[in-house]
Structure 1
Amino acid sequence: MAAPTTPSSSYSSSSTATGGSSSASSSSAPSLRQLFNAEEDMSSRGVAQVRFGSSTAQSLLDSLQLVPTEKPQPSPGQIVVRMTVRPINPSDLNTIRNSRFSRLASQGRRVIIGDEGCGVVEEVSHAFTLSFGK
């Protein structure tokens, strides 16, 4: 967990997602509902929770917005994966509703959700190794 509040980014570095330090603004970011109608490349955007204390599914959905993200640079031994699909599942909702998450987010700390998804490897660091069947 590192800097600003961007729970889900379009890029992941290794098993830990890292990205730009973009902040969400309710006036500049489109709503999450627009994501499902978007016909453009979403690789430079992520989903951020911009309001906290949501008590219903609808208010939680309304608290999420699309924000710009930056492609991370992989650290030694890591890869960068451009996520093509990243669902929100019940464990993500529990994380978002958790008071510790809200406390970290209010301090400007970045909390990544989305433990699963599909993507394309875009960059491999010089120290990355991969082995199968171990």
Structure 2
Amino acid sequence: MDYEISDDPARINLEAIWQFLSTEAYWGRQRSREEVERQITGAWRVVGAYRAGGNELVGFARAVSDGVGFGYLADVFVHPEHRGHSLGKRIVSKMIDEGPGATFRWTLFTADAHGLYRQFGFVEPDGSAMVRPASAMS
């Protein structure tokens, strides 16, 4: 099966992304639809994977950035039935190596797929990194 990888924001299908993040993604289920849509429409860059010749979105990633030297990679996914075609690798490559952020310092949070991200130079943080975990809002 052939696929297209595109960074054209006009091709993004918000409904398809919402469906995956709200039902399949361990990291996305706590967000409301409005939050997801705001994050996607406000993203610095988005990349989608599509069946060739169509607009069926089968994979996705978004990035937040200052546009100068820092990028945060988020919401990377490939639908299970389309895995095994290197789509995750192609999406991440398009986002961080083939785009305007190729020289950025990139970061991400993930509980899985470490092997994929290591291929792109991601490593566990050293003593120079700190993270403030999200706190529960009352």
Class of the TM-score when normalised by the shorter of the 2 chains? under 0.3
Query: Highest relative contact order (Cα 8 Å, sep 6+), 1 or 2?
Result: 1
Scaled by the length of structure 2, the TM-score of the pair is 0.24
Q: Which protein has the bigger helix share?
A: 2
